[in-house]
Amino acid sequence: MRGWRRARLTGRTKQTATGRTLVFEVPRWPGHRPGQHVDVRLTAADGYQAVRSYSLAAPADGERVELGVQAAPGGEVSPYLADDLPVGAEVEVTGPLGGWFVWTPQEAGPLLLLAGGSGIVPLMAMVRARLASPSDEPCTLLHSVRSPDDVWYAAELDAAAAARHVRVRHLWTRAAPEGAARPVGRLTGADLRDLPPPADCRCFVCGPTGFVEHAGDLLLAAGYAPGRIRTERFG
Ligand SMILES: Cc1cc2nc3c(=O)[nH]c(=O)nc-3n(C[C@H](O)[C@H](O)[C@H](O)COP(=O)(O)OP(=O)(O)OC[C@H]3O[C@@H](n4cnc5c(N)ncnc54)[C@H](O)[C@@H]3O)c2cc1C
d(CA 175, CA 123): 23
pLDDT band at 34 (very low <50, low <70, confident <90, very high): very high
Give the burial class of 139: count Cβ atoms within 10 A of its Cβ; 0-12 exposed, 13-18 middle, 19 or more buried. buried
d(CA 53, CA 28): 20
Give the residue-averaged pLDDT of 16-43: 97
121 lines ligand 1 (CB under 6 A): yes
Better-scored residue on pLDDT, 37 or 105: 37
pLDDT band at 98 (very low <50, low <70, confident <90, very high): very high
- Measured in Å, residue 189 CA sits from the centre of ligand 1 at 29
Whether the per-residue pLDDT at 74 is higher than 70: the answer is: yes
Nearest ligand 1 atom to the CA of 97 is 1
Q: What is the pLDDT of residue 163?
A: 78
pLDDT band at 2 (very low <50, low <70, confident <90, very high): low
pTM (predicted TM-score): 0.95
Q: Does residue 136 contact residue 164 with C-beta atoms inside 8 Å?
A: yes
Question: In this structure, how many other beta carbons lie within 10 angstroms of the beta carbon of residue 42?
Answer: 16
Give the residue-averaged pLDDT of 59-72: 98
Tell me the domains of the chain and their CATH numbers.
5-97 (2.40.30.10), 111-233 (3.40.50.80)
Q: What is the pLDDT of residue 68?
A: 98
Phi, psi of 139 (to 5 degrees): -130, 120
C-alpha torsion 52→171→33→128, nearest 10: -130
Give the residue-averaged pLDDT of 153-177: 91
15-24, 85-94, 103-112, 145-154: segment of lowest average pLDDT: 103-112
- Residue to mutate (ligand 1; options 22, 38, 78; most atoms within 8 A of CB): 78
Give the residue-averaged pLDDT of 133-138: 88
Nearest ligand 1 atom to the CA of 72 is 49
Q: Check residue 84 and report its DSSP letter.
A: I
d(CA 39, CA 37): 7
pLDDT band at 165 (very low <50, low <70, confident <90, very high): confident
84 lines ligand 1 (CB under 6 A): no
Residue-averaged pLDDT of the chain: 95
